[in-house]
Structure 1
Amino acid sequence: PFSGPFNPFSKDPFWNPYSNPWNPYANPYVKHPFSTNLSDNSAQASEPFIRVKMDWSHNKTLNVKVDIATPNIIVSVYMLMFVPIAMAWVAMNHYGFSEKGYAIILPVTLCSMIIGQDLVNQSLSVLMASPTAITAIQALAMTIITGAWSLFAESEKPKLSLASSTSLAKWGLVALLFAVYQLVNHMVSYLCSLSERTVFLNLCPVCTMVCELTLLPKSVRMEASFTQRMSLCAMVLGALLFSLQYPDFTPSGIVAAFVLVLVLLPYRLLQRWLLVECMELSVPVLACYDGLMLLAPAWAITASKQEHFWQTWGGWLMNPSIALMLALSWMTFTGAHVCSLLMLRGSSATHYLVLHNLSGFIVVFEGIAFFGDKVVQAPLVFAGITISLCSGLWYALEATGRSTFH
């Protein structure tokens, strides 16, 4: 296993587990994102803000070219995403709270946070080759941000009491499932193909709807209309159409995706139930609890698998683009989790999962619009994405009128 100080700009394959996808020192715990071309002995990786190209001359000289988007480009993309949303929140604060307006702005904010997190995470993972370390830092940032938020809120208007300890003890199971879900996500990214992830994740809302209607108490349950059920079926159809164009299914990938579903269903259902049952616990307190629970295992895994990883942080922070992406990853990770808790407190787990999947398809469309992805050259792939995207929007519009935000 790779055990040296990681440096993505190094031309020595021992110090850079990505410098040669065929080298014996490559990190076995990280799936390299490079596509290789044996005819010209080269490898490439392309993510939203990062492009890396490596080629070998007669297997002796390694040439590495790393293109990183400038801070201006990164900031411009995030301004387009978040400035209109910020203006909407400011307008609602100025004109007064509206439950209907809140039910529209919150899902849009949630999707934007998920998309923003995905864009920087993909790019940082190519450079750092340690998604678990990125998760550990994000968990630490969320714990600090929401912890400070909770302390300020309690000083202004105390809500926690000795009676809250029972609710906090119940939430401990949700926090544990949150940590397990985040770590299983890394396993799924390592073992699963895009087709496997697309099919299984788009089946989750259907399974969740069945479980919500049969297992949750009536006080928490939200009935689904006929049109909502039809939109879920159309979403699964779009996912299947997309995946059939890349039928890359393996036993290990299917098992990993199935494990993700087994973790995801009880996690979201229990989260939805306790968010309604434990209304005295504020969202910042719960998010801080979740961050603490995730921090320990993510930090332990990083320390055991890549003990020299932290030696490179000075180099990362010296690059303004990388430092900016790290800061954005911390903010979007925290924002996405806080928005998910707010969303699940007022709407169903099925609604949340549809929005989460919808965000994934929007990322693909952003890749087409801003980063030059070639999806449009495959009509059936584009059709599958379009069907899933339109079906998700259909469900979201139907569900907005049934949400109960206070």
Structure 2
Amino acid sequence: MRRADVDTRITRVYREEWTRIVAGLARRCGDVGLAEEMAAEAFASAVERWPGEGVPPNPAGWITTTAYRKAIDRLRRESFRDVKQREALMLHDPEPPESTGIIDDDRLRLLFTCCHPALSLEARVALTLRIVGGLTVEEIARAFLMQESAVRQRITRAKAKIKTSRIPYQVPAPDDLPTRIDGVLTVLYLVFNEGYLASGPGVPALRSELTIEAIRLVRLVRELLPDDEEVAGLSALMLLSQARSPARLSPTGELVRLDEQDRRAWDREMLDEGLALVDGLRASAPGRYSLLARINAVHARAADADETDWSRIVELYEHLERIDASPVVTLGKAVAMAERGSPEQALRVVESLSDALADFHGFHVTRAELLRAAGRVPDAVAAYDRAIAAAGNDAEIVHLTRRREEIAMPPAPGTPGATTNGESR
């Protein structure tokens, strides 16, 4: 097998199995940091050995066994480790592990361990995206517009805190769940977003292993908190967004805007499940995820882009601004305002966000589209250039380049022009 093919297989196993491998090892050795380190070393061993030895029949099993053996070797060398911990890890127990929480799921326990309130919210998010989401430090830094060194430091300190504070590896008791859920939902949302539109160069634009895992985990959280509106709202938001995945890439690998997607390709089963959740949400005091789910439900219920109720979407964004104000929320409202028929007003709103969102590629995409609609071609071309420079994956770069070229090199007379983008994702 060619080296490139081996590297592709290793990358695939990493993306699909990383969380399961780390979670299972963490249960066995009781040390999240050790589990992550040994899993990483096992993948490094695969990179070194598989090109010569060939890819094993069960690649994930090979990684798991190798990581487990490395953990044993590490514990044998470290005499200061607790004797009982070493003995427990070295014993081969074929019986299922004793339940350590309400729901017996290694990955859910790992999620709650990384999101423990003893850690700062920033540390919880960074650590969970790294260990549970399997994102690289570079990807996390890009998502938060931070330096990689700062992200790496947060993760290192968080793992040390878990170890020194003896934070238990378990799903919390029912009475403790309400105080733990906000950080968990934040992390699951960020994991889903990275999969929905990946931010790293050289990776697929759509990382279904992340979106599917986020959906799976939030469903488990719903079993823990069946009456929590925000949990249901986040679940609905993910389902309605993921349902569009079959139509989000063209055959040539270009990102397809929402208004250009073939809605017949959307996953009807996911849409129905998400819409049912939205219909079950209470009308009073909606939260952030509930409102975002309602916005996505408006898109889902429109037979085509022209039938989208943009006035309703503006109303929902205005409500979201009142309870969770942020420049990104205002940017979303501006897009809806433009589609409702107020592109000039929307452009003024977007321009007011230039300082707050100078490094956010979505700002430059939206600004380029609005400048394009206003007929300010040179400014739009420059904005597209900024958006392309800040884009995080090839599919989006191809899409933005095409949009730029359409106005930089005007089409032949009689060719219809494109409209502004309502929701490019």
The one of the two structures with greater contact order (alpha-carbon pairs below 8 A, sep at least 6) is 1
**Bigger share in strand:** 1
Structure of greater Rg:
2
TM-score, normalised to structure 1, is: 0.26
TM-score, normalised to structure 2, is: 0.25
